[in-house]
């Protein structure tokens, strides 16, 4: 059996009941065989970034998993499909978007997966919830760099 690693997963949705979808998906990630939900961030509302459509609900979860990174990606894509995810064009509005941000200390660069996530340090909707679950991964300078991007904690 593989040694467990911690991984951070970003969640986002802006179609349908996005808040409920994100909350349910947090729990669903913890029910994936080989995954254990350790902590969830607060929910954040953000305007679409380099995209169109309604505001997004975003969050990050920290999990422990013995799945490989590609295996985790496959399991997350199953959850996206179950939520009705479609990809009609780049940055299209979505019922659910799940991205592996960090996978242990691993670095992966394949056609299907890049870890750490290549654009996470430029996105407030990733950095703020990531700071909730793994504050050692986000510096004050990181947050200052994205301070112009509108983001608010949801009640």
Q: What is the pLDDT of residue 94?
A: 76
> What pLDDT sits at residue 87?
57
Active site residue 45: no
Residue 42 is among the residues annotated as catalytic for this protein: no
For domain 5-153, give the CATH superfamily: 7,8-Dihydro-6-hydroxymethylpterin-pyrophosphokinase HPPK (3.30.70.560)
- Please give the average per-residue pLDDT across 94-99, as a whole number: 88
Q: Considering 99, 123, 132, 134, which one is annotated as catalytic?
A: 99
Give the mean pLDDT of 88-108: 81
| Confidence at residue 92, expressed as pLDDT on a 0 to 100 scale | 57
Residue from 141, 97, 146 nearest 120 by CA: 146
Which residue spans within 5-119 are E strands per DSSP? 5-13, 35-40, 44-46, 56-65, 97-103, 108-109, 114-115
- Residue in 97, 123, 134, 142 annotated catalytic: 97
- 2 catalytic? Reply is no
| Residue 61 in this model has a pLDDT that exceeds 90 | yes
Query: What tokens were used for 131?
Result: 């700071």
Locate the domains of the chain by residue range.
5-153
Report which listed range, 11-15, 35-39, 45-49, is most confident.
Answer: 35-39
Q: How confident is the model at residue 95 (pLDDT cuts 50, 70, 90)?
A: confident
Q: What is the pLDDT of residues 120-154, one digit of tens each?
A: 999 999 999 999 999 999 999 999 999 999 999 99
Active-site residue (options: 19, 42, 85, 145): 85
Q: pLDDT at residue 89 above 60?
A: no
Q: Answer whether residue 90 shows pLDDT above 60.
A: no
Q: Which helix (H) or strand (E) segment is 128 a member of?
A: helix 124-133
For residue 1, pLDDT over 70 is answered with: no
Residues above pLDDT 70, as percent of the chain: 94
Tell me if the pTM is above 0.75: yes
Catalytic residue, chosen from 94, 123, 132, 134, is 94
Q: How many Cβ atoms sit within 10 Å of the Cβ of residue 5?
A: 18
Told to judge if 132 belongs to the known catalytic residues of this protein, a careful annotator would answer: no
């Amino acid at each position: 059996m593989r040694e467990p690693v911690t991984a951070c997963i970003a969640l986002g949705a802006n179609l349908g009941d996005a808040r409920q979808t994100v909350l349910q998906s947090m729990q669903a990630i913890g029910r994936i065989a080989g995954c254990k939900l350790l902590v969830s961030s607060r929910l954040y509302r953000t305007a679409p970034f380099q995209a169109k459509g309604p505001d997004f609900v975003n969050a990050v979860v920290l999990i422990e998993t013995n799945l490989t990174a590609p295996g985790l990606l496959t399991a997350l894509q199953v959850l996206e499909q179950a939520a009705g995810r479609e990809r009609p064009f780049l940055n299209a509005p979505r019922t659910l978007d799940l991205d592996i941000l960090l996978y242990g200390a691993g670095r992966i660069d394949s056609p299907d997966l890049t870890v750490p996530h290549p654009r996470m340090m430029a996105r407030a909707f990733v950095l703020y919830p990531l700071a909730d679950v793994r504050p050692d991964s986000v510096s004050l300078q990181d947050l200052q760099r994205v301070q112009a991007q509108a983001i608010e904690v949801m009640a």
